[in-house]
Amino acid sequence: MSKKQGVLLCNLGTPDVPSAEAVRKYLGQFLHDKRVVSIPRIIWCPILHGIILRTRPQKVAKLYQSIWTDNGSPLMVHSQAQRRELQIRLDALASESHTPIELAMCYGNPSIPKALESLEAQGCERIIVLPLYPQYSSATNAAIFDQVSKFYKKRFFVPELSYVNGYHNHPLYIKGLVDSVKAYWQEHGQAKKLLFSYHGVPERFSKKGDPYEAQCHETTRLVVEQLGLEQDQYQIAFQSRFGREEWVKPYTEATLQDWGKAGLESVQIISPAFASDCLETLEELAIQNKEVFVETGGGDYSYIPALNDSPIHIDLLYDLLQTQLH
């Protein structure tokens, strides 16, 4: 008799509401993770609780308010749609048993422990963990794996676990990105430059063996090849720096400043590191960085949305699960 299987679909997380109190709770959990900030706790905790969580939540809450929808956080709305569409796909092709999919956030709600408890209650003896991160990083994928492992430390029964470490070069992922760019060009025309902006990580991550930076470059190369772009038609950059240490370069904001000062006529920006549109894409890229580019002398600027719950993205996620299910 085959084991009952379940899926844990994970994304980073979001505050429950766009208030300073909710943001403080969310940031407290996020920035306390050693995978995210590895500074010794004796140094970091006084900074986090004494300064950052006193000053940052109010500012970040305003940013969330600028992108919040009637249905809630964009990241949550898109993640729920991905789970729903993926569940429909699995159920439609299931020949024997139902394979439940539970959505979880690494930080915030619904939590990983709650989602695992639900899968446990449904009798799942084998669980596939699918993080919604195309490129693997110790700050994202490994943080999820840490929480899953921690949950089972005190359990008498540990199910068979299968992890999807990423899909940065999966043919359907690359096709989805290429198709989204081509569709955008067909409707809006092609800009002088296409900027691939990925979430940044500290330089020391790459030096210690984190494959994230290299995978970002490979994703970009594969997309550029299929788009037929010349070297002067695109650029890769990294956004969302935090703290004082050096992060992987070039930086997105600095790149846009340089292009703006040079009077670049137009730029379109895409962020292949994000499976769902969120604060970093809808506010940082689409609003903040547009201001940087335009105010320094640049011309037209537009953001190409993430794949979200597009059919090809669901095809990709389904294909990733099919390679794990048996």
DSSP H or E stretch at residue 114: helix 112-121
Question: How far is it, in rounded angstroms, from Cα 83 to Cα 101?
Answer: 7
Question: Which amino acid makes up residue 307?
Answer: L
DSSP H or E stretch at residue 72: none
Question: How far is it, in rounded angstroms, from Cα 172 to Cα 180?
Answer: 12
- Quick one: pLDDT at residue 245? 86
Q: Which residues pair with 10 in a beta bridge?
A: 104, 131
- Quick one: pLDDT at residue 94? 67
How is residue 247 written in tokens? 């992060």
- Quick one: pLDDT at residue 325? 81
DSSP H or E stretch at residue 95: none
Topology, domain 171-304: Rossmann fold (3.40.50)
pLDDT tens-digit profile, the chain (326 residues): 578 999 999 999 999 999 999 999 999 999 999 999 888 899 989 999 999 999 999 999 999 999 999 999 999 999 999 999 999 999 987 666 789 999 999 999 999 999 999 999 999 999 999 999 999 999 999 999 999 999 999 899 999 999 999 999 999 999 999 999 999 999 999 999 999 999 999 999 999 999 999 999 999 999 999 999 999 999 999 999 887 789 999 999 999 999 999 999 999 999 999 999 999 999 999 999 999 999 999 999 999 999 999 999 999 999 999 988 86
Say which CATH architecture domain 5-167+311-322 belongs to.
3-Layer(aba) Sandwich (3.40)
Which residues are within 8 A (CB) of 225 and not within 5 positions of it... i.e. 6 or more apart? none
Tell me, yes or no, if the pTM score tops 0.85: yes
Domain boundaries, the chain: 5-167+311-322, 171-304
